[in-house]
Each structure stands twice: as C-alpha cells, then as structure tokens.
Copies of this chain bind each other. A is one copy, B any other.
Amino acid sequence: MAEVISTNPSTGETRSLGFAESSDDEVLAATRRAANAFDDFANRPLSWRAGLLRAMAEELEGDAANLVELAHAETALPTARLEGELRRSAFQLRFFADVVTDGSFVDATIDHASDSPMGPLPDLRRVRGAIGVVAVFGSSNFPFAFSVPGGDTASALAAGCPVVIKAHPAHPATSVATFAALERGAQRVEAPEGTVNLVFGFNAGTTLVDAPSVSAVGFTGSVGAGLALWERANTRSVPIPFFGELGSANPLVVTASAADERPTEIGTGLAGSMTLGVGQFCTKPGLIFVPRGESGDALVAATIEALSSLGTFTMLSSGIADHFRRGTEAIGAISGVRALVQADAGGDAHAAAQLYEVDAARFVGRDAYALREECFGPVALIVRYGSTSELRDALLATEPSLTFSLFCVENDRDSRWLLELGAQRSGRVVVNGYPTGVGVSWSTQHGGPWPSTTSSAGTSVGAAAIERWLRPVTFQSVPDELLPPALQENNPLAIPRRVDGILQHKN
C-alpha cells in the first residue's frame, strides 16, 4: 500500500508518516475488533459511558498545543480558529456525556399488561439500543470537530457503538494524534479493546463500508464521495444506514425592506461569513438574493469593499484550491454573470475571495445549473431580483440545503412566506444572522433535505445526532431481571420514561 503522506498546504512540503495506508485485511481486522468490543461496550452503565466521553475530552485538551500545531501545519487554518475548534470538540464530547446521563435518548417506554378494545395486551417495553459498529468518515475542513474526535465519533460512542474511523487524507498526522488522545481516554476508563479504531486510505474507505461487521456509516464530505459510498452502503448484501452530510449552496435572502434599512451592515457581514474558514464551511452562504435597485447596490458595494481588503488565503489542500478555481471559472463563464471581485491568488493551495452577480431571471435558466451548485471556498453569487415572484422562482430553483438565511425587518411583509419556504427546503432557518457557525446544543439540526444530506431525518450535530446510531427493540412479557436496566420496573437508571402513556421525569 502507498505510504501515508502529510502535506503542508501553505508550503507544499510533504512528509511521510512512516506507515502505509490500511490494507483490506487491516480494515476488516479493525471492524472485527470493534464488533468484538460491541457487547461489552454497549452494555456498560450509562454513567461509565459518560465517563469515557469526558476522559476523551480531557485527553484532547491536555494535548491541545500539539494538536493545534499539527492541524495548523496540515490545514493552514489559523491557530485561533483551530484552538476554538478543539475546544468545541472537547465540549461536544462532554455535551454527549450529558445526553447519555440524561438518558431520554433511549426512549424507554413501558406499557403494563392491560385490557384493550382488542382484548388483553401483554406487558410491552420498548427501548432504543446501540445499532452496532459505526464507520466514521472525517471531513477535510474541520480537522477536529468533524473528524476523528468529531460529532459522529462522539455521538456513536454515546449511543454505545464502537467506531472505526477513516482518517481524511488532508490531515493524517492530526488524525493520528487526536486518535491517540481518544485511545488514552479509553484506556483510562478501561474501555474494551477495539472501542475506537483508525484506518487510512481511499481503498480503506470502500472496504470499510463493505465490511460485514459495520452496521452504519457517518460521513461528512463532498457530494461525489458521499453519494458513491451511500450507493455502496445500499448495495451490500445487508444494506446499512448511511448518514451523509454532503454539500449545500445555502441561500441567503435579503428582503427589500432589510436592504433599505441596513445595506452596509448586511453586505459587510456577508463578506465575513462567506470567507470564514476560507469559505470552506458546508454552511457558507453561497447564494445571496438581493433586491435590484439602490439599496441592493449599496449592499453589494459594501460586500465588495469588505472583500477587497482580505488578501489571499491558503486553502486546505491544492486539490481543494484546484476545485475552487474550476468552480469559479464555471460560474464566470456563464453568460449574464458579472464578476464583481475576481483576484488571481496564484496556484497551489492559494485562493482569493470572489464575488459574482446575476439577474434572477438568468439564474433559473436550465443551462445555468453551475450557478446553483455549491462552490466550496470563498465565493458567493449575488442573485438580483426585481419582484417577490422572481425571488420565489429563483428560490424554488435552488436545491434544498442545510441552511436558509433571511434578513428582514420587523413586521416585514415578506418574512412569513420566506420562512415557510426556507423551512420546507432546509434543515435550519436563520433570521438576521449568517448560517456559518453551528452551535452544539439540544436544539441543533445540521442536516437538510436531499441532496444536502442523504437522510433528512438525521443530524450530524447536536443531541439528536445520537439517534442515528440506535435501533428500537420491544420486550414482551420479559421477567424484570432479564430486562435491560432502562426498562426494569424500578427504573434503576433514573431516566425519563413513558409509562402507560404518561411521560415521567426521572425517579
């Protein structure tokens, strides 16, 4: 197998990490180790599981300086951003420890034996348990929060599922070091051997999705890779659920009233949001709907001005920068598109912010599909509309997305229909704010309708992310001592349950 290589996108320097990509045998062995760990791991007390997640958080924080340095060298992301991202990842592990301790995620439900209009009903008790081994595909753009120690790993472990993580090739050294922190956390609490596993290489990814011991997949990345693996997960002899968070063009609408009220503020903020993390966020606002006319012009002028002072960036890899160059060229090449900001940053991994503009009537053209696709990187397309019906048609021509943002004023006559449309076509609607930044909370939804995610019922961030890795089982007439603790009569886990139809707080 090829050696695993770490590349510094700022300098183009490469170094071998001294080991090879994982062979098929190694990947299958990792999935078997995880499968062997499953029973023991899934059946440990919830309090122990919470302790594991907290130990992992501590180990990440304990090695923070080293991890940030490694990630900075491999991603060119600023140190402050990476420090914040690492804090977020540790917070996320602790947050899932809270979710585990809360215990409502198992959805414990008890119906005592009773009479019904159809005759006697037996004692029925339902609980959601761990689905099995979870394969995790880390992303390029968040070397911590959506990679080895990220949300998929945290939520899968929280659900009681051992993980086999496929490291993203853009940051293998960071993956090795963050994995070591997870392993130290696991060892501290004496987790079963095989609870966390790491594999490398493109081939390892396909082998992992095919592996008989794998029960579900969490993926964050590009549409191309995601759909290929999704199809693979569906064509196994035993298909498995595949939760892919793919791409999203993220429409952002400015109503006429909002453009009138605060054009400079909105336009300037937009420049910041679309270039945050060098525009390498799946929540980057990519399609900006701005009214025609003076106020809209002022808004766009503010964006142009803010962008022009930004200079050049280094993207995550030269491959991603190449893709960005091709994508922006395709946008600029479409007739009717006006380039507002277009700088050449040189080759390799370098890039500069770009801004394009098109009329809404042109945007909806059948031949203008490239305008409506996500272009990963610091670029946005301004779509100028002249009427609400033009705006509506343009929004309906965009693909469903992870987010939908709306800038409006108080009592804006366009707020309601725009919010309704946004809620139907995205997983998160934002009012008077930018979509970049996904809080880790009980109320987070990070996942929208196809094609932004392969399963719109799932979220890859927030408490509900754990639901992806659970499978319900009902126990009928099972003696108390043989029931899982979550369902035993005296509620030994002290978790919220629904008993005979009534929601009950903890005992």
Chain B residue nearest to A113 in the complex (CB): B439
CA gap between A122 and B482 in the complex, in Å: 45
Q: Roughly how many angstroms separate A118 CA and B82 CA in the complex, as a whole number?
A: 12
CA distance A419 to B463 in the complex (A): 30
Check: A470 CB closer than 8 A to any chain B CB: yes
Once A117-B91, A472-B457 are accepted as A-B contacts, the answer to whether A477 and B431 lie under 8 Å apart by CB is yes
- Nearest residue in B to A124 (C-beta to C-beta)? B443
Contact A109 B457 (CB under 8 A): no
Interface membership of A479, Cβ < 8 A? yes
Residue of chain B at shortest CB distance from A487: B443
Taking the complex as formed, is A327 at the interface, i.e. its CB lies under 8 A from any CB of chain B? no
Q: How far in angstroms is the closest Cβ of chain B from A231?
A: 8
- B104, A450: Cβ atoms under 8 Å? no
Cα distance A118–B440 in the bound complex, in angstroms: 9
| Any B CB within 8 A of the CB of A366 | no
Residues of B near A498 (CB, < 8 A) are: 104, 442
**A104 CA to B498 CA in the complex, in Å?**
11
| Inter-chain contact A88/B118, CB cutoff 8 Å | yes
Interface residues of A in 409-461 (CB under 8 A from B): 410, 415-416, 419-420, 423, 426-433, 439-445, 447, 449-451, 454-457, 459
CB closest chain-B residue, reference A506: B503
Copies of this protein in the assembly total: 2
- Residue pair B501, A472 in contact (C-beta under 8 Å): no
Cβ of A362 < 8 Å from any Cβ of B? no
Within 8 Å by CB of A444, from B124, B462, B464, lies: B124
Q: Any chain B CB within 8 A of the CB of A121? A: yes
Q: Say yes or no: A428-B496 contact (C-beta < 8 A), given A124-B441, A442-B501, A482-B415.
A: no
A335 contacts across to B, CB distance below 8 A: none
CB-CB < 8 A to A439: which residues of B?
111, 116, 118, 121-122, 124
Task: Please list the residues of chain A having a beta carbon within 8 angstroms of any beta carbon in chain B.
Answer: 39, 84, 87-88, 91, 98, 102, 104, 107, 109-111, 116-119, 121-122, 124-126, 129, 131, 234, 238-241, 410, 415-416, 419-420, 423, 426-433, 439-445, 447, 449-451, 454-457, 459, 462-464, 470-479, 482, 484, 496, 498, 501, 503, 505
Instruction: List 20 interface pairs A-B (beta carbons < 8 Å), by A numbering.
Output: A104-B503, A107-B464, A111-B439, A111-B442, A126-B443, A126-B444, A129-B423, A239-B450, A416-B482, A423-B473, A428-B473, A428-B475, A429-B473, A431-B478, A443-B474, A445-B472, A457-B472, A459-B472, A496-B503, A505-B505
